[in-house]
Structure 1
Amino acid sequence: MSNPFEKSDAQYLVLVNDELQYSLWPVDGAVPAGWSVTLPAAPRQVCLDYIEEHWTDMRPKSVAQAEFAG
């Protein structure tokens, strides 16, 4: 059984949650609760590039805000 997250020739979505965390997601999988599509179906490498460009702070949003306020 192959890993659905590692198929270089498959289409994926990029998901984001309220904490501004990103996820690569198989296009045929149901989007989990709490996540929304931020990049529609695209090749895996396009999705990975999108995540690298947009997810510049690995801390959850709530942690980053607390550190900024503190």
Structure 2
Amino acid sequence: MTNPFEDADGRYLVLVNDEGQYSLWPEAVRVPDGWRCARPADSRQSSLDFVERTWTDMRPMSLVREMERAS
């Protein structure tokens, strides 16, 4: 059995959490609590491309807010 998280031919959702962190998630695996779908299922490469274009600031949102308050 192949690992569904590493299946190059699989279909993946793009998930995002409240901290603005992204994750590729196999379409057939239940979305975990605390995460929501940011993009419907697509090929692994297309999903990776979306994350690369979208997640340009790796800092968690709580850190961004704290840094903005401090400045």
- Give the TM-score normalised by structure 2: 0.92
- The runs of 5 or more residues in structure 1 that have no matched partner are none
CA RMSD of aligned residues (A): 1.0
- Percent pairwise identity: 54
Moved over 2 A (4+): none
What is the CA-CA distance between 1:7 and the residue it aligns to?
Answer: 1.0
What is the CA-CA distance between 1:55 and the residue it aligns to?
Answer: 0.6
Partner of 1:68: 68
- The runs of 5 or more residues in structure 2 that have no matched partner are none
1:10 aligns with 2:10: yes
What is the CA-CA distance between 1:65 and the residue it aligns to?
Answer: 1.2
- For 1:41-52, list aligned pairs within 5 A: 41-52=41-52
- For 1:11-26, list aligned pairs within 5 A: 11-26=11-26
- Give the TM-score normalised by structure 1: 0.93
CA distance in 2, matches of 1:51, 1:24: 8
Task: Report how many aligned residue pairs link the two structures.
Answer: 70
